[in-house]
Chains A and B, each alone.
Chain A
Amino acid sequence: MRFVVAMLALLACASAVHAKELPESIRRMADRAFLEGRLDDLDDILTAAEEPIDRLPLLVRDTWWRMAGRAGVRRAASNAGDALIMKRLEWLKLPEASAWPVPRDGEADPYPILTALIQDRVRREWKGHEGLPQDGPLKALAGRLDKRREKRTIWFLDRSSSHMMSVAYRGVSPHPDQVTADREAEDLRARNGLLAALALLGFLLVPTLIAGVAFRGAKADPSQGA
């Protein structure tokens, strides 16, 4: 699999061999690899990346998304020219200080999925789950997903919303099996409840009736004992 990824990346780069920055298709591959958790594949996908903006997913992975020190960021920051990438590299040095820098109006984000993932994680780790996922950064991403091609991502979003957060994600309804299981459990609960009430009532009544009938004649003088 990794070999295929590397070959695809090299082919894409060959088609834009004179360009200084990586082609858009490579960036999309890197973005998707991040989304799907194939973080080791990033080395192969971005093997031709030279500019800090193209190395950004690797820097994010190795300095913030996973922990391995920030030397790489310092080296990259020294020759970063673009304003957005400069801000992002600065952010990686001190992520707690500010929000993840986003492009100005009209400016394209080279890694929109990565941005959504980072914003989502920052929000989760610092603000908690309140408001997620209805208003979270991934919500906007979900709207752009192709239901057929992006089923893994949709599965993840559904799970993260309806199960982990215990919040119904838009468009997600309980599985029919769950509805049936709920109904069957409710029926059993009601049946056992009725039987329990009858059993307890019978247990209380029968000895009382026996005592009333059997010892009526033997009733003692109340003044003679407790």
Chain B
Amino acid sequence: MAARAGYLAVAFLSGFCILTVEFAAVRQLAPAFGQSITVWSTVIGVILVALAIGYALGGRLGERSTSARPLFVRHGIAAVWVLLAAGAGPNLSAALIPEGLPGDRLIPLGFTGSLVASIVLFAVPAVLMAMTSPFLIRLAARRGHEGRATGGIYAVGTLGSLLACYLAPLVLLQTIGTYATLTAVAITLGVLALLGLRLSRPGADTQEIPAAEPGPPVARGYVAVALITGLAVTILEFGAVRFMAPWVGQSNFIWATVIGVCLLALAMGSWLGGRWADAALSRGAVGGRHFYVALSVAAAWVGIATIVGPDLLEWLVPQGIESMRILPIAFRASMIATVLFFGPPLLFLGMAPPFLVRMGTHGAHAGRTAGVLFAWTTVGGLLGCFITSPLLVPAIGARGTLLIAALGLVAIALVALRPGAWRESSVRRATLPVAAALGLVPLALFVIHVAGRAPLRDQPGQIAEIESAYQTIRVVRQDVELLIPFLPETGAAPARLGDDGSAMTLFLRHDEDAETYQSLILEDRDASASILTGGRYFEHMALGAHFARRDPKTLRVLIIGHAGGTVYRTLTQSIAKDVKVTALGVEIDGAVVDVAREHLRHREIESSALTLITGEDARTVVNALPQDRVFDLVLVDAYARTNYVPFQLATTEFFEQVAEHLAPDGWVGVNVLGDGMKSPVANAVANTMSKALGAAYVAPNPVFPGNVILWSCREQSRPPRLQAGTRLHPGMQSAAFAFERLVVRHQFTPTGLILTDDLAPSDRLADEELGL
């Protein structure tokens, strides 16, 4: 019993450490290489490849071992490696930062560096930690009970991952930072190694396991099933988030909820599957048919979820909820929808490892079988990681992506239950028609989906929905009131465009966003119109052009978060025509620019004066800027998953880098979603800007208190001033009025929160501010 408990404890801690290292790795490399989907996939991909190698090696090496000591030696090595990675990681990453902006580059900016850094820093500990599970199964499994041993260890390891899924991104990385998190993992592994070595020392009261004789290779059929189930699990996890995103968004809590429920389902499935496999297969191989029928049920379930899901989600998160109130409602809705729609299928998929190990094991080779099958499951996960968000969702949408995964499961079931695959004819007769009938559900739905793709969510006035690699983008056409309540009375600007007191406006909205927007254009306006965006924050950002220029005839701008080009359009159309504006715009999601070209007249603003870089994280671009590239104005309007200022674009190190590319009297403006002056996110970013640049000024927006613009310049402690003698564009009067009456100096508190590349809890602050 003590040994059994020990194995489970080791499996739990290994599962926890592996996933924590994954989260920390992405976080540690982000300041150097950004968080574009290329870099993210590269880092996760390297770790998953390492895990696959580790599983296979663990199973093979485990067969030659007669005690658990080698396992703990590996944990010790992994501990030292992780500790070194924690310390050396930032320096190594900095040395690998690419130089030069992407012109004709074929390879994305951060790809090579992130690949090398993640291999050097994290591949070895991942390999070593992954060797744990098959090794433990080898130690724990007894003939006839391989399923139970595999299920138990896999389930407990998955529970460790479940804990890491919440603890690492939501607590550890947000409170103690990346370095301390990795150090904590190293300490955990080190303690585990020391304890394990002590308990398994020669002469201790431990069980010696005889070395196994070389056995036959694992059947290719089982390998294929492991690969496809691993692929399906990852597609379902990522697909679930994207499927629900139009209602619940992609905040950290939503990701944690979806991944958490998925891991819980997999753990329960493993535990249940282990017992089921031992019970079913004790009567012969024919028992395996249960597993394949279960996969068919999972496929049909996913198919039905894609049909009923939108209606349920619409009921759970109705339209019209304001952005500052929606997250607590959406978080709970995501829990309900994930449990109902994806819990049962993933529970069935969680049965795969114990069933396959039980079916594929010959003699005393449970560890090796488990290692090989886990490795192929991980390879499936790796494939899923690379194809789901970057390829499948943009190509066939989240609904189609989920149906593809379901069809893959049906295909496995039908092949496995095909005529002749089982000796007992009664088995074929009973199960094949059932599996085929269940498989018709996703097949029919997929055909319907491909024939006429309907939007996931429809808003009033919606004219397009595009699912990009990052988000769901909706183009919505609405008649809305302008946000200039008093200036029209002064005659400074006309109040309205339409007779009914409103303006037809095209918005780019994303994910759960039913109220706010990342870009817009007033449909009826033209270049000479006196209204720009009707008092919205784009005008407040563009105001920087009026105090960030030394040379009155030129303006060099860096726009981080170009999106649909509204900031650039507002800036260029509100500035005097004789000012030569040159701009570098960076947008991580190139699909947003494509949508803007199609629907928001983006091509009107494209010229040689505007250089656009898409598909790259802005931090990577700033890192790679040539030293002599100087800007008068840097505008940061970047958001990740609707609500978060990307942490790597809000740290001391980032602002210091930006300062190196600022003209002597240049200014930096950062748009922050936050509750006015009280906003903890805005205060943290302002404190960080004060630390890096000397002082920060907060410019609230009187017509929408949810946005503030933070301003800093290199000339320390100089409050921003509009230039006298400039006749402001009428559409900028509202912004100028608010700017001159409301700008407040941020009170720098050296002991307060200052965001750094290592510790930047901006996500946690945003979650708290939004009620999570």
A interface residues, Cβ below 8 angstroms from B? 1, 36-38, 40, 61-68, 117, 120-121, 124-130, 132, 152, 155-156, 159-160, 163-166, 181-182, 185, 188-189, 192-193, 195-196, 199-200, 202-204, 207-208, 210-211, 214-215, 217-220, 222-226
B interface residues, Cβ below 8 angstroms from A? 1, 4, 7-8, 136-137, 140-142, 144-146, 148-149, 152-153, 261, 264-265, 268-269, 271-272, 275-276, 278-279, 282, 316-318, 321-322, 325-326, 328-329, 332-333, 335-336, 339-340, 343, 347, 485-487, 489-492, 547, 675-678, 697-698, 700-703, 705, 708, 719, 721-725, 727, 733, 736-737, 740-747
Known contacts A164-B677, A226-B8, A125 near B697 by CB under 8 Å: yes
Task: Decide: B268 and A207 in contact? CB cutoff 8 A.
Answer: yes
Docked Cα-Cα span, A77 to B547, in Å, equals 26
Docked Cα-Cα span, A219 to B272, in Å, equals 12
Docked Cα-Cα span, A218 to B343, in Å, equals 25
For B746, list chain A residues within 8 Å (CB): 128
Docked Cα-Cα span, A37 to B734, in Å, equals 9
Task: Decide: A125 and B744 in contact? CB cutoff 8 A.
Answer: yes
Write 26 A-B pairs (CB below 8 A) sorted by A numbering.
Answer: A66-B725, A121-B741, A124-B743, A124-B744, A126-B745, A132-B744, A156-B486, A160-B700, A163-B676, A165-B676, A181-B325, A182-B325, A192-B316, A192-B336, A203-B264, A203-B339, A204-B268, A207-B272, A207-B347, A211-B276, A218-B279, A220-B148, A225-B142, A225-B149, A226-B140, A226-B148
Task: Decide: B736 and A1 in contact? CB cutoff 8 A.
Answer: no
When C-beta atoms are compared, the residue in chain A nearest to B675 turns out to be: A166
Task: Decide: B747 and A128 in contact? CB cutoff 8 A.
Answer: yes
Task: Decide: B275 and A215 in contact? CB cutoff 8 A.
Answer: yes
When C-beta atoms are compared, the residue in chain B nearest to A219 turns out to be: B275
When C-beta atoms are compared, the residue in chain B nearest to A41 turns out to be: B490
Nearest CB in chain A: distance from B234 CB, A: 21
For A188, list chain B residues within 8 Å (CB): 317-318, 321, 329
Docked Cα-Cα span, A126 to B695, in Å, equals 10
Docked Cα-Cα span, A154 to B684, in Å, equals 31
Docked Cα-Cα span, A219 to B736, in Å, equals 75
Which of A159, A204, A217, A223 counts the most B-chain CB atoms under 10 A from its CB? A159
For B336, list chain A residues within 8 Å (CB): 192, 195-196, 199
Which of B141, B676, B741 counts the most A-chain CB atoms under 10 A from its CB? B741
Docked Cα-Cα span, A34 to B121, in Å, equals 61
Main secondary structure of the interface of A (DSSP, over half): helix
Docked Cα-Cα span, A155 to B703, in Å, equals 11
Task: Decide: B325 and A163 in contact? CB cutoff 8 A.
Answer: no
Task: Decide: B142 and A224 in contact? CB cutoff 8 A.
Answer: yes
Docked Cα-Cα span, A159 to B705, in Å, equals 9
For A207, list chain B residues within 8 Å (CB): 268-269, 272, 347
Nearest CB in chain B: distance from A74 CB, A: 16
For A195, list chain B residues within 8 Å (CB): 316, 332, 336
Task: Decide: A36 and B490 in contact? CB cutoff 8 A.
Answer: yes
For A223, list chain B residues within 8 Å (CB): 1
Task: Decide: B740 and A181 in contact? CB cutoff 8 A.
Answer: no
For B153, list chain A residues within 8 Å (CB): 226
- Which of the residues A128, A182, A199, A210 comes within 8 Å of B745, measured between beta carbons? A128
Docked Cα-Cα span, A152 to B708, in Å, equals 22
Docked Cα-Cα span, A217 to B678, in Å, equals 61
Docked Cα-Cα span, A200 to B740, in Å, equals 52
For B724, list chain A residues within 8 Å (CB): 61-63, 65-68
Docked Cα-Cα span, A218 to B272, in Å, equals 12
Which of A185, A196, A226 counts the most B-chain CB atoms under 10 A from its CB? A226
Task: Decide: B744 and A129 in contact? CB cutoff 8 A.
Answer: yes
- Which of the residues B8, B149, B268, B547 comes within 8 Å of A67, measured between beta carbons? B547
For B136, list chain A residues within 8 Å (CB): 226
For A202, list chain B residues within 8 Å (CB): 339
Task: Decide: B741 and A117 in contact? CB cutoff 8 A.
Answer: yes
Task: Decide: A152 and B333 in contact? CB cutoff 8 A.
Answer: no
For A165, list chain B residues within 8 Å (CB): 676-678, 700
Task: Decide: A156 and B276 in contact? CB cutoff 8 A.
Answer: no
Docked Cα-Cα span, A160 to B708, in Å, equals 12
- Which of the residues B4, B269, B318 comes within 8 Å of A226, measured between beta carbons? B4
Docked Cα-Cα span, A117 to B737, in Å, equals 12
Known contacts A155-B486, A181-B325, A203-B339, A160 near B741 by CB under 8 Å: yes
Task: Decide: A203 and B325 in contact? CB cutoff 8 A.
Answer: no
Task: Decide: A156 and B743 in contact? CB cutoff 8 A.
Answer: no
Task: Decide: A196 and B276 in contact? CB cutoff 8 A.
Answer: no
Task: Decide: A124 and B745 in contact? CB cutoff 8 A.
Answer: yes
Known contacts A124-B742, A211-B275, A192 near B332 by CB under 8 Å: yes
Docked Cα-Cα span, A51 to B316, in Å, equals 68
For A66, list chain B residues within 8 Å (CB): 721-725
Nearest CB in chain B: distance from A106 CB, A: 30
Docked Cα-Cα span, A160 to B271, in Å, equals 58
Task: Decide: A189 and B487 in contact? CB cutoff 8 A.
Answer: no
Docked Cα-Cα span, A44 to B271, in Å, equals 83
For A132, list chain B residues within 8 Å (CB): 744
For A164, list chain B residues within 8 Å (CB): 676-677, 700-702, 705, 708, 742
Known contacts A62-B725, A155-B485, A185-B329, A225 near B272 by CB under 8 Å: no
Docked Cα-Cα span, A61 to B740, in Å, equals 11
